Amino acid sequence: VRKKGRNLVSDPISNKGLAFPLSERDRLSVRGLVPPRILSIQEQERVIMDEYTRGWAARAEQEPEDEIIKSGVSPDNIRKWKVLQSVQDRNETLFYRILMDNFQDMAPIIYTPTVGWACSHFSQLYRRPRGMYFSHGDRGEMASMVYNWESDEVDAVVITDGSRILGLGDLGLGGLGISIGKLDLYVAAGGFHPRRVLPVVL
């Protein structure tokens, strides 16, 4: 593999998702760009197949007592969130154009309240890295890890420790969804450049 860092994890042929062992994460400059948990390809396959066979929007309909669903997040909100994430994965210019043109309608989809559902299901929804992950095992390494981020010019950093997310409690790594959603708002409404923002979870 000749690619490293974001180029590697953005390449669908070379990317292994969470299956990179620790030694490869350091050697290939992806430490911090992917969540610290290591999942084999088989484990990642089970996550995808669970979504394939059951679907999260359908699951939301089956869980009317879920606190997030009770708060007003509908299966249609979840569907819209997934559509927007799919667009952002393949064309950020289009994503931000759509968001800016439909800001009032889409802000509750990409942020509160729908982002609470996304955070609580983050491990099942993870497809592509969007931010940096610093775990307890990264103590003493954070200064070197930030060089794995593709841009050395960052105007805004939103950091979460994953606790107290929207009254849902400690969502750990899933809290990164809050940092991502907030920065999407900063880009669309505040004029920040999408390459100059950095979502972080500690």
Which are the catalytic amino acids? Answer: 111, 182
**Rounded CA gap, 40 and 18, in Å?**
7
Nearest alpha-carbon partner for 162 in 150, 154, 174, 151: 174
Q: Which two tokens stand for residue 26?
A: 């350091």
Distance of CA 141 to the CA centre of its chain: 22
Instruction: Please answer whether residues 102 and 34 qualify as being in contact, where contact means their C-beta atoms are separated by less than 8 angstroms.
Output: no
What are the DSSP calls for 10-72, one per residue?
Answer: T-TTT--GGG--HHHHHHTT-BTTB-S----HHHHHHHHHHHHHH-HHHHHHH-TTSHHHHTT
Name residue 17's amino acid.
Answer: G
**Rounded CA gap, 174 and 178, in Å?**
8
Element (H, E) at 200: strand 197-201
Nearest alpha-carbon partner for 39 in 133, 118, 124, 121: 124
**Rounded CA gap, 8 and 69, in Å?**
36
